[in-house]
Amino acid sequence: MAETMSQTMLLQVVSPERLLVDEQVTEAQIPALDGYIGALPGHAPLLSALKVGGVLSYRAPGHNGKDETVAVYGGFVQILPDRVRVLADSAQPSRDINPEQARERLKKAQAAVEQQGVASDEASRDEIVRAQAAVDAIAAK
């Protein structure tokens, strides 16, 4: 008897603060260190580190074919044939991001690094990456 593959897989996105996503999805795009990983139901098992300041996107039944996005700031992803688990150092769903505040945060971070020049510290550069991820997450909605 032929085995049928499920049309969905479970996506869980967890940060230290809370569970951000826990739903069945038809696909997910995960920002890994070496580029994006496209995951579909039945994907081969995989474990990878996440890119700091990437945008995870996914498509779920019942979302009218629209992708949902989450800004992620490092962590790890485990992909199995029936589920994707993202353990993020920090993450923010695009629905929780205020677009004006995100753009303003990016402008301020860029101005701070520009003012510091080559002497800019890692925290200032990280703030740009985080702010850019938030802006990218809302732009991808």
| Per-residue pLDDT, 2 | 42
| Per-residue pLDDT, 3 | 45
Please give the chain's pLDDT, 141 residues, in tens: 344 457 999 999 999 999 999 999 999 999 999 999 999 999 999 999 999 899 999 998 877 778 999 999 999 999 999 999 999 999 999 999 999 999 999 999 888 888 877 666 777 778 888 899 999 998 876
| Per-residue pLDDT, 19 | 97
String of DSSP letters for 64-130: TTPEEEEEEESEEEEEETTEEEEEESSEEEGGG--HHHHHHHHHHHHHHHHHHGGG--HHHHHHHHH
| Per-residue pLDDT, 55 | 95
Helix then strand count (H, E) for the chain reads: 2, 10
| Per-residue pLDDT, 118 | 62
